[in-house]
């Protein structure tokens, strides 16, 4: 087992799911369980300026480096609350035969549903046991960053830029850089190591908004409800029915956006619906928000006497325009990955990273791969060989920065 694999598995076993309903930072105290370990490991490794903030952001810097721009490396410690992250039991499928992997609870990982999985036929694929997610998003990114720092500390004569490191909480609930100190971080450019297949470096993400609905109805005994009851559950159902099914996640791909009804709960008297909106263009996002407002007005007319509250909030924006102003960040990453002997393309991630917001906070940030897929689910996997390729690609990218400077 390679050291990066051992490191990743050790991190994956620590439960760090974020909590979208919490207002604290981090949103779950368990994230400190991993952050405290990482703080100690960075110090033992010989990193400088190691600092863990009260709000759960861990900063450090790599000693040395040539003068010039400072390059930041970022990963997040939390895992998605969409699938259980409690008691993760990583499984190593050594000499994988390329066939679907069957796990507990009838969980099936089919390579036909993955973009790059068959690259690792004959290698080692890491999964959970099927009862939880794996946590590769983004503990694989953490492992890659720390192994990268260790490699440069072990090879001090290799030219590289000055490197800053940060591990953030709550990325999965859109709050990863809410308390991020750009000045303490000190980077001019940065890479989030939070991607998937090793064949892609991402220079774009979605524009992202949330649309949260609170519906108030009127409770009446069903036996005497005629002309009086206003059923909030029925209104919630009509709300979802009015959304365009052809523009939901299961029916969209590539650069197509979506409207995603993420969460529903309620009873006759009140109901709550959470929707997220995603689009690569500003114009497309404006139209999606207008549709939400039109649905609100339609429901109000269909159900007089109800109270329908719609609250929309921006979560992050597409950094593509900012990254196009200085192409070095993306070009060096593409070349660094190509030096691993693979074909690599520039792509658009169908999601978001801390880099989406950091780019608009003055630190242009692109996204590097980790070698896994099917994140946020019990079918999540990462390949040992993918981790090694991503590690080599990141080292190559930093060497290019050092050579150019």
Catalytic residue list: 78, 171
Name residues whose C-beta falls within 8 Å of residue 10's C-beta, 6 or more positions apart in sequence. none
H or E element in which residue 368 lies: strand 365-368
Euclidean distance between CA atoms 400 and 234, whole angstroms = 58
Q: Are 134 and 127 in contact (CB under 8 A)?
A: yes
Q: Are 270 and 217 in contact (CB under 8 A)?
A: yes
Which single residue is written with the structure tokens 């593509």?
A: 320
- In sequence order, the β-bridge partners of residue 348 are 204
Euclidean distance between CA atoms 298 and 285, whole angstroms = 20
Cβ–Cβ contacts within 10 Å for residue 68, how many?
Answer: 13
**In terms of Cα–Cα distance, which of 402, 358, 325, 404 is closest to 163?**
402
- The first and second tokens of residue 59, run together, are 């900063």
Cis upstream peptide for 205 (omega within 30°): no
Burial readout 169-208 (b: 16 or more C-beta within 10 A, e: otherwise) = bbbbbbbbbebbeeeebbbbbbbbbbbbbbbbbbbbbbbb
């Amino acid at each position: 087992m390679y050291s990066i694999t051992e490191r990743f598995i050790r991190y994956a076993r620590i439960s760090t799911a974020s909590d979208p309903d919490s207002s604290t930072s981090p949103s779950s105290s368990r994230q400190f369980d991993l952050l405290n370990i990482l703080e100690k490991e960075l110090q033992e490794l010989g990193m400088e300026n190691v600092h863990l903030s009260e709000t759960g952001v861990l900063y450090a810097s790599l000693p040395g480096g040539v003068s010039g721009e400072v390059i930041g490396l970022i990963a997040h410690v939390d895992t998605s609350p969409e699938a259980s992250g409690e008691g993760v039991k990583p499984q190593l499928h050594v000499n994988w035969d390329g066939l679907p992997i069957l796990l507990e609870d009838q969980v099936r990982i089919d390579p036909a549903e993955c973009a790059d999985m068959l690259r690792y036929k004959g290698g080692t694929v890491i999964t959970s046991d099927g009862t939880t997610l794996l946590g590769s998003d983004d503990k694989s990114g953490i492992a890659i960053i720390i192994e990268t720092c260790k490699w440069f500390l072990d090879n001090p004569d290799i030219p590289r830029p000055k490197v800053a490191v940060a591990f953030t909480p709550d990325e999965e609930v859109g709050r990863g850089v809410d308390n991020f100190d750009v000045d303490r971080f000190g980077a001019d450019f940065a890479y989030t190591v939070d991607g998937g297949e090793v064949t892609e470096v991402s220079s774009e993400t979605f524009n992202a908004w949330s649309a949260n609905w609170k519906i108030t109805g009127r409770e009446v005994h069903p036996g005497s409800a005629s002309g009086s009851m206003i059923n909030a559950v029925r209104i919630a159902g009509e709300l979802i029915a009015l959304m365009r099914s052809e523009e939901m996640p299961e029916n969209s791909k590539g650069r197509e956006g979506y409207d995603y009804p993420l969460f529903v709960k309620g009873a006759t008297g009140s109901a709550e619906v959470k929707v997220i909106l995603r689009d690569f263009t500003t114009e497309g996002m404006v139209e999606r928000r207008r549709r939400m407002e039109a649905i609100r007005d339609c429901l109000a007319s269909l159900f007089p006497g109800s109270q329908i509250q719609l609250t929309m909030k921006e979560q992050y924006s597409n950094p593509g325009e900012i990254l196009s102003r200085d192409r070095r960040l993306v070009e060096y990453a593409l070349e660094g990955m190509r030096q691993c002997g693979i074909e690599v393309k520039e792509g658009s991630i169908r999601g978001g990273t801390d880099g989406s917001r950091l780019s608009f906070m003055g630190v242009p940030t692109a996204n590097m791969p980790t070698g896994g897929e099917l994140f946020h689910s019990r079918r999540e996997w990462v390949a040992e060989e993918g981790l090694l390729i991503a590690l080599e690609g990141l080292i190559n990218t930093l060497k290019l920065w050092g050579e150019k400077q």
